[in-house]
Structure 1
Amino acid sequence: MRLKPVPEPPADLDELREHQRAVPLVPGDTDDCCARLRRRRDLPDRQTANDWLAFLRALGLAEETSRGFVRADAEPTPERVREGLRDGVLLVPEALAALREASPDDPLTPADLFAATRERVPRHDRARNPDWEAAWRDRAARLLGWLALVDLAAPVDGDPDPAAVDLGYVAGDAL
C-alpha cells in the first residue's frame, strides 16, 4: 500500500533523523505519537504530525504495531529513503518515470508532474477538498523536493525549493 502524505522535505537527512527520533521507542497510540512529534519537532498542528508519522512509516522509519506506533530500528540512509519513497509513497513511480524523460532543456516541474498524475489522484480527495488541484500541485512540489534530497532528482539551475512551483528537475545521479 502506498501512502499519500508528503510533508515538507527537510534540509538534510540529519533533520529527517530528528523527526524519526521524535517517534517513541515504546509503542504509543496515534494521538500520543502525534503529540510527541508536535512537541519535539515544533510542528504547527496535529494533521502535520499525523502526515509525518504516516510518511515515516512509508519510509520504513516508523512501524505500526498492535499497540501503536514505534520508531523503527533503521537509519534514514539515502538508500533506505529511496527505497521507502519508491515502495511506499503514492505516485513516486510515475514521478520517477517522468524524471527519466526530462531533460535540462525540458525539465519536469511540479505543474508537469501534477498534470501527468492528475487522473491518479484518489476520488475521495477530489470530493472532500474543493481546492484539491492546488493541494496536489503543492504535494508534487514537495515530492520532487524529497526525490532531490536523495539524488533521485536534480534541480535545474539551483537548489531544490519545494515552494518554487516552476522549479524544474531532471533525473538525479541515483536514478
Structure 2
Amino acid sequence: MRYKIVPPVRDVAFLEAAQRALPLVPGTVEDCCLRIVDETAAPSRDAAREYLTFLQALELAEETPRGFRRRRVDADEAVLADAFERRVFGARELLDALRGAGSLTVDEAFDGMREHVPRWERDRHTDWEGEWRERTERLLGWSVAFGAATRDDGDRYRPIERS
C-alpha cells in the first residue's frame, strides 16, 4: 500500500518525537493526535493527523483494530528513506526522475510528476497543478531529510546514491 499524505517537511528529530508521543498500547486517532500536538511543534490536530499517517507510511507507527500504536523501531535515515520510497505515493517516481536527470529544480521535478498524477486527483482539485507542485516540493524536502537527496544553493536537488 502506498500513502498519499505528505505533510510539511520537518527533520528526523521531529518524526522521532512524534513517534515517541504515540502509545505502545493502541490509542484512538484523537488521543494519538493530541499526544503529537502536545509533544511536538505540530500546529493543530489536523496537522498531527497528517504526521500520524506519515508515521504509518514510514513504518514508525501502525494501525491496529484498537487504534494506532508506536512501533519499536529506530528512525534511522536509511530505513526511513527506504520506507519513504516504497510506501509514499510519488516518492519512487520522483527519486527515479532525480536519479535519471542527475539534478532537478522543483519545477522540473513537477513536470516529470505530471504523468503520474491520477485522473481522479486532477478532477478533485480546482488547482491540481498547484496542489501537486507543493506535493512535489514536499517530496523533495523529505528526500533531503532522509538523506536520499541534497539541495544546492541554486535550488537544484541531486540524488545521493546509497551503497
User: TM-score, normalised to structure 1's length?
Assistant: 0.84
Residue in 1 aligned with 2:99? 100
Deviations 1:80-129 (A, max 9, x none): 101111211001111111111223xxx31222222212232233433332
Distance 2:120 2:34 in 1: 27
Please tell me whether the aligned partners of residues 151 and 174 of structure 1 are also in contact (alpha carbons under 8 angstroms). Answer: no
Instruction: Tell me whether 1:68 sits opposite 2:67 in the alignment.
Output: yes
3-state SS of paired residue (2:79): helix
Identity of aligned residues (%): 41
Q: Is 1:49 the counterpart of 2:48 in the alignment?
A: yes
- Of Structure 1 and Structure 2, the greater helix share is in 2
8 A contact 1:23–1:37 mirrored in 2: yes
Matched, 1:90 2:86: no
Matched, 1:146 2:142: yes
Residue number among 122, 125, 142 corresponding to 1:126 in the alignment: 122
- 8 Å Cα contact 2:3/2:57 also seen in 1: yes
Aligned-pair CA distance for 1:49: 1.3
SS in 2 for 1:74: coil
* Whole-angstrom distance in 2 between the partners of 1:156 and 1:58: 28
Which residue number in structure 2 is paired with residue 33 of structure 1? 32
- Distance in 2 between residues matched to 1:174 and 1:14, nearest whole Å: 21
Closer, same or farther in 2 for the Cα pair 1:57/1:145, shift >3 Å? same
* 1:116 equivalent in alignment to 2:112: yes
Structure 2 residue aligned with 1:162 = none
Q: How many residues align?
A: 163
- Counterpart of 2:162 in structure 1 is 174
Hey, what's the Cα distance between the residues in 1 that align with 2:156 and 2:70? 34
Distance 1:125 1:28 in 2: 31
